[in-house]
Amino acid sequence: MNQLLLGLQHCHERGILHRDIKGSNLLIDRDGTLKIADFGLANFFVPKPKRPLTTRVVTLWYRAPELLLGATDYGVGIDLWSVGCLLAEMFVGRPIMPGKDYWKIMRLPTSFRPPQHYKPTIKEAFKDLPPSSITLLSTLLSLNPSYRGTATSALQSQVTFNLIRSGPNFN
């Protein structure tokens, strides 16, 4: 997680959205060094002036809700949602949102606004995860993209530090 977030921090600070973060696009060498690969869907983003971006990015299993609903005005939150999916996947041992693309073409606003009454149920859905991971996972999988923060804020959280020290053991 630390290496992935550092890589995304590097990209995002330079105005690059990866737009396809998933396990098969993360390369790990024998020394445990992670490299983010496949920038084929990557794009520059600038906060102002905003320009519409395509929704046909990110592999479906890691695609943020705003993309599924047709938003064309998005930012780093789409990469962070994918990171949250990967974090949960590492603990659970399988993709947490596998599915098929059944979305019909709909006329939706180009900016996504979640309902105010939304309350995350991450704690219930992932009750077997270590408590130290629930806060970070809840942040990364927030329905509202603005609540997901940034790669920098995820790196600065005590939760991330705890995950790095005591994260899942895959040996």
pLDDT for 35-47, tens place per residue?
999 999 999 988 6
Catalytic residue (one of 20, 29, 38, 79)? 20
SS3 160: helix
The domain ranges of the chain are 2-166
Superfamily (CATH) of domain 2-166: Transferase(Phosphotransferase) domain 1 (1.10.510.10)
For residue 98, the model assigns a pLDDT of 85
Please tell me the distance from the alpha carbon of residue 159 to that of residue 141, in angstroms, as a whole number. 15
Would you call 101 a catalytic residue per the annotation?
no
Cα–Cα distance measured from residue 61 to residue 77, given in angstroms and rounded to the nearest whole number: 15
Q: What pLDDT sits at residue 114?
A: 62
pLDDT of residue 146: 92
Query: Which residues are 35's β-sheet partners?
Result: 27
- Give the length of the chain: 171
pLDDT value of position 166: 55
CB burial class (10 A; 0-12, 13-18, 19+) of residue 162?
middle
**How many whole angstroms separate alpha carbon 165 and alpha carbon 56?**
36
- The letter for the amino acid at 164 is I
Mean pLDDT, contiguous 10-residue spans, the chain (171 residues): 95 96 96 97 84 91 93 94 94 85 55 59 81 86 93 80 54 42
pTM of the shown model = 0.81
